[in-house]
C-alpha cells in the first residue's frame, strides 16, 4: 500500500459533502495514517474526531470516523472505527473547522 500523501485534503473534500452542514465544525482533530488490517487486508487508516452541526443546527458531541485509503486514495469513511482508532495520536485539524458550504 502506498502512503496517502494528500490524506488531509482528501478527508476535507469528503467531509464537505458527507456532513449535513460543514460550517462550524468544532473540536476537530486528526491522526496520521497508520497501516492496519481491515477485512484481512493491509490498508492505511487515518482517524478523525469532530463535533459537527446536525440538520437542526445543534451539536450532539464528538464523533470518531476512520478514513480508509486504498493505493494512496481515500476509499471510504468508516462510521464506527472502534479498534482501528484505538490508541490513535491526534493533532489539531483546523482546516476542518474552517470548512464552508
Instruction: Give the per-residue pLDDT at 55.
Output: 86
| Nine-digit cell string for 73 | 486514495
For residues 52 and 21, the answer to whether their CB atoms sit within 8 Å is: yes
Q: How confident is the model at residue 82 (pLDDT cuts 50, 70, 90)?
A: confident
pLDDT of 22-55, one tens digit each? 999 999 999 999 999 998 999 999 999 999 998 8
Instruction: Give the per-residue pLDDT at 20.
Output: 86
Instruction: Give the per-residue pLDDT at 101.
Output: 80
Amino acid at each position: 500500500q502506498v502512503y496517502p500523501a494528500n490524506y488531509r485534503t482528501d478527508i476535507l473534500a469528503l467531509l464537505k459533502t458527507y456532513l449535513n452542514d460543514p460550517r462550524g465544525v468544532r473540536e476537530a482533530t486528526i491522526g496520521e495514517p497508520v497501516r492496519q488490517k481491515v477485512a484481512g487486508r493491509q490498508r492505511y487508516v487515518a482517524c478523525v474526531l469532530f463535533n459537527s452541526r446536525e440538520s437542526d443546527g445543534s451539536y450532539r458531541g464528538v464523533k470518531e470516523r476512520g478514513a480508509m485509503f486504498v493505493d494512496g486514495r481515500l476509499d471510504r469513511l468508516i462510521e464506527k472505527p472502534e479498534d482501528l482508532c484505538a490508541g490513535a495520536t491526534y493533532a489539531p485539524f483546523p482546516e476542518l473547522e474552517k470548512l464552508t458550504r
